[in-house]
Amino acid sequence: MPSRSSPEKLLTMIHQWCRRHRTRLSWIVVVIAAITTIVFGTIGFRDLHDDFPFSTHVYLAVQLLTLDSGATEGKEVSWPLQIARWSGVVAALGAIVNTLVAVFAGRIHRYLLRRMRHHAVIIGAGQAGMQLASDLLTEGHRVIIIETDENNRAVTTLVERGVNEFIGDGREKEILMAAAVHNADILVIVAGSDTRNLEILHAVEETCQHRNPHASPLRCYIHIVDKRLDQLRERISASTTTSAGTEISFFNRFDNSARLLLEAVPLDRETIRADDKRQVHLVIIDMNPLGEALLRQALAIGHFANHRPLAITVIDNHAAEKEQGLLVRIPELHKCGDLTFVDGALQQASIQELLKNLLTNPAQIVSIAICHADSQSSLADCLDLTPLLTDHNNLVYLNLGGDERAAKMLNVSKSKDIRLVPFGNTDTACSSRAVFRRELDILAQKIHDTYRARRAADGDSEQDFPAMRPWEQLGDEYRNMNRQQADHMAVKMRSLGCQVLPDSSGEDPTAFQISDDEIEVLAITEHQRWAAARRLAGWRFGATRNNTNLLHPDLVPWSDLDEPTRDYDREPVRNLPQLLATIGYSIEKRGD
């Protein structure tokens, strides 16, 4: 979703301010006109009837507010009286109009909202909806919120900033029509459960049958948590641009938290080159939805130049049971990395011994993620973990939700340099940057366009390869494949000793040369990343590709691939500097 230009954003903000204060401004105009009428009317009548007392001059001037003509009986009308007569008209008519508007304000407001265009609609005014509404307002968008709870006080602040609120159920067509969903540019559904959100989406698609066929599709962002709905999600988004004029993207705050965390503080905090013997290791404490999202994101991008698999140790009171649940959805889960599931809790002696051995092993680059939903439990585990940390393995990701400042108050050992990284903040995970993924999608789309051109050059078609469809028609699974490749570009550059900067403050990437040997090493890494992404989506090896049964012949080691297939993995490595340059990114040498 492109951001608005500065002049357009400024004009929109001015418009929002005027709309927010229009009642007050209109009455101020009436009062100023009335004062002008009385002052100039008094002066004018004094000039006409200098023999009248001052009180009579004032009385005659006040009469002008009742649309009295201020007749002068053939005498010439002075300019003060002329001003007073017309300002009296403005004051009288203004008062009448303002009164009518006040009486019929609700009807007028609803009428205008039904005809609103190019706005954003948010269904659900929980923490996620409120954050997105605030961000969209700041970016200059007009926003409508649909909420079922008329006593939600949190909405009041946004209404004062210019948000329009509808009380009702987003599954009802009348409510959607009243919010002019069919004329909107953006729709976000964060109304609670996955089932409810999907029901709202269905109602939205029916409503959008009234959308102008020449308008761009309505960009819909739907919050879905349960990974077991993946098949349903893909079926809904199989034709991303539907006949109803909607373009659907799915997100959830746990995935967003995991992605933002590993983007900001990566697992490969030290350069991992091809000859590095060390293994990157992530320990996840508590396999809740956030823990699972972190596991998936780590397995998706945790592929390094030394080709050693990412090790993940999951510690949970029901780890074995949760492992089996994952295997039902991801049959080849253990081929994505070196995974170990351990039943237990941090306070147990056996778990403490396991962590001590990991943290003191110089061949392991260990990061620990404490994912408890309760911030108090996270803090308690962090305190229990602190004595085990070493000067080398000292990175702890700490889920504190909205209590991130608590990390600064932890009384950690002064003899160790311990890095506590808070994450899991819903406001951050549901910000417009995290949900709309503008920068990421620009890069992902360029990667996709390059892939399509290469496939077309090889004589392939969209009918045989659904991944060749244009970005606007691409299913959510395939879009995510391109996004994951875009996310991994930073990992590849770090293996080359460089840091990617999201601006032009560093060196020009196109001046950076990647040798043939480095291309080959990173092509193998890219194949490992691609295979893991496929497996995480439920795919398995099959001698013949079958999109229905999720079978793919290329889910094999690099050594078993033919040269044309290997070139598909070399291509993104060769294009890495150019791709970074096309979106305005730069690089700098990395110092470990």
Residues 484 and 300: beta-carbon distance below 8 Å = yes
Domain end marker among 224, 251, 278? 251
Map tokens 């050594």 to a residue. Answer: 559
Map tokens 């004589």 to a residue. Answer: 459
Structure token digits, residue 434: 């995290």
Q: What is the mean pLDDT of residues 331-342?
A: 96
Q: List 151's β-bridge partners, or say none.
A: none
Domain end marker among 70, 103, 136? 103
Q: pTM score, two decimals?
A: 0.80
Q: What is the mean pLDDT of residues 460-479?
A: 83
Residue 485's domain is classified under what CATH number? 1.10.490
Structure token digits, residue 448: 């996709």
In a domain, 233, yes or no: yes
In a domain, 365, yes or no: yes
- The tens digit of pLDDT for each residue in 549-558 reads 889 999 999 9
- The tens digit of pLDDT for each residue in 148-177 reads 988 888 888 888 888 888 889 999 999 999
- The tens digit of pLDDT for each residue in 201-254 reads 989 988 888 788 888 889 999 999 886 675 555 555 554 444 457 888 889 999
Q: What is the mean pLDDT of residues 575-584?
A: 89
Residues 232 and 268: beta-carbon distance below 8 Å = no
Q: Strand 540-541 and strand 551-552: pairing?
A: parallel
Q: Please tell me the predicted confidence (pLDDT) of residue 460.
A: 86
Q: Is the pLDDT of residue 428 over 50?
A: yes
Integer-rounded Cα Rg, in Å, for the chain is 32
Q: List 186's β-bridge partners, or say none.
A: 120, 219
Same domain, 46 and 167: no
Same domain, 414 and 266: yes
Q: What is the mean pLDDT of residues 124-131?
A: 93
Q: Output the CA angle 13-19-22, nearest 5 degrees.
A: 135
Residue 146's domain is classified under what CATH number? 3.40.50.720
Q: Is the pLDDT of residue 13 over 70?
A: no
- The tens digit of pLDDT for each residue in 179-216 reads 999 999 999 999 989 999 999 998 998 888 878 888 88
Same domain, 350 and 453: no
- Domain assignment of residue 403, given as a range: 257-429
Same domain, 50 and 172: no
Same domain, 457 and 316: no
Q: Which is nearest to 532 in space by CA: 270, 298, 275, 291?
A: 298
The sign of the CA dihedral 120, 126, 130, 136 is negative
In a domain, 1, yes or no: no
Helix, strand, coil % over all residues of the chain, rounded to 5: 55, 15, 35
Domain end marker among 429, 445, 467? 429
Structure token digits, residue 511: 């001046």
Q: List 282's β-bridge partners, or say none.
A: 312, 367
- The tens digit of pLDDT for each residue in 269-278 reads 999 999 999 9
Residue 341's domain is classified under what CATH number? 3.40.50
Q: Which is nearest to 366 in space by CA: 313, 317, 329?
A: 313
Q: Is the pLDDT of residue 73 over 80?
A: no
Same domain, 229 and 201: yes
- Quote the CA–CA distance of 169 and 529 in Å, as a whole number: 42
Q: Is the pLDDT of residue 124 over 60?
A: yes
Those residues with Cβ within 8 angstroms of residue 337's Cβ, 6 or more apart along the chain or in another chain? 298, 299, 302, 309, 310, 311, 312, 532
Tell me which H or E stretch contains 219. Answer: strand 218-223
Same domain, 269 and 411: yes
- Quote the CA–CA distance of 145 and 130 in Å, as a whole number: 9
Between helix 22-48 and helix 6-20 the angle, nearest 10°, is: 70
Q: How many other CB atoms sit within 10 Å of the CB of residue 478? A: 22
CA distances from 291 to 319, 402, 506 (A): 11, 17, 35
Q: How many domains are there within the chain?
A: 4
Q: Is the pLDDT of residue 113 over 50?
A: yes
Same domain, 264 and 408: yes
Same domain, 290 and 421: yes
Same domain, 230 and 267: no
Same domain, 185 and 314: no
Same domain, 377 and 290: yes
- Phi, psi (degrees; rounded to nearest 5) at 112: -65, -40
Q: What is the mean pLDDT of the chain?
A: 87
In a domain, 453, yes or no: yes
Least confident of 325-329, 349-353, 469-473, 495-499: 469-473
Q: Please tell me the predicted confidence (pLDDT) of residue 315.
A: 98
- Quote the CA–CA distance of 267 and 395 in Å, as a whole number: 9
Share above pLDDT 70 across residues of the chain, in percent, rounded to a whole number: 89
Q: Please tell me the predicted confidence (pLDDT) of residue 279.
A: 97
Q: Please tell me the predicted confidence (pLDDT) of residue 189.
A: 96
Query: What band does 70 get if pLDDT is binned at 50, 70 and 90?
Result: low
DSSP character string of 237-274: TSSSB-TT-EEEEEE-HHHHHHHHHHHHS-S--S---T
In a domain, 489, yes or no: yes
- Quote the CA–CA distance of 123 and 147 in Å, as a whole number: 6
Q: Please tell me the predicted confidence (pLDDT) of residue 1.
A: 44
